[in-house]
Amino acid sequence: GLAEVAALLERKGIAEPLSASDEFVAACARADEPAARAILARVPNVIQTLSAVQLRQLPDLAATGADAAVKLMVELGWPIAVTGGDWQAAALNLAVFRGDAGLTRYLLEHGASWAEKHGYGDHTTGTLSWASRNHDPAAGDWVGCARALVDHGMPIPPTGERFSDEVAEFLDEQRQAG
């Protein structure tokens, strides 16, 4: 997705021809929808040819906040539950970890499951618990993430599970309303 770096390498004569799968991943990573769709039209099964390293670009990009790239990948049929990152998490867990309520809701609306496990053996409830307590509250919207998760089937965790005060208050309200 670093078009400037690729152009610099090309100008220096270091560029190599890319395979269709590499071109596709690069187009998706830079959120270049026209280029990605053109490759997909030319090679309809390109997603099925992606290597494990290429597939993990979805969660890796979700971890960095490249929401436009993640959304394009999902729209084009990228496997939404593929894991990556330092803790083998799917894009949904990484969006929740970052407190990205918009991407959390988007991924849930496109088939991600709150119950997807990450490399530490927990699911998004645990991610929400840890992130909401350990990240700067101004850095993310963990209440928005909790709302999206509950709206998409996550059961209200039992009383006593630890969350930030704001998330715990939201979950208590949901428990009382439910």
Tens of pLDDT, residue by residue over 153-168, are 999 998 888 999 999 9
Task: List pLDDT tens digits, range 17-76.
Answer: 779 999 999 999 999 999 999 999 999 999 999 999 999 999 999 999 999 999 999 999
pTM, whole model, 2 decimals? 0.90
Q: Which residues contact 107 (CB under 8 A, 6 or more apart)?
A: 62, 70, 74, 80, 91, 92, 95
pLDDT in tens, 97-153: 999 999 999 999 999 999 999 999 999 999 999 999 999 989 999 999 999 999 999
Residue 102, C-beta contacts closer than 8 angstroms, at least 6 positions apart: 67, 144
How far apart CA 47 and CA 6 sit, in angstroms, is 22
pLDDT score recorded for residue 18: 79
DSSP assignment string, 20-66: HHHHHHHHHHTT-HHHHHHHHHHSTTGGGG--HHHHTHHHHHHHHT-
Residues 6+ apart with CB under 8 A from 19: none
What residues contact residue 165 under an 8 Å CB cut-off, 6+ apart? Answer: none
Structure tokens at 148: 């999206």
- Tell me, what DSSP letter sits at residue 118? -
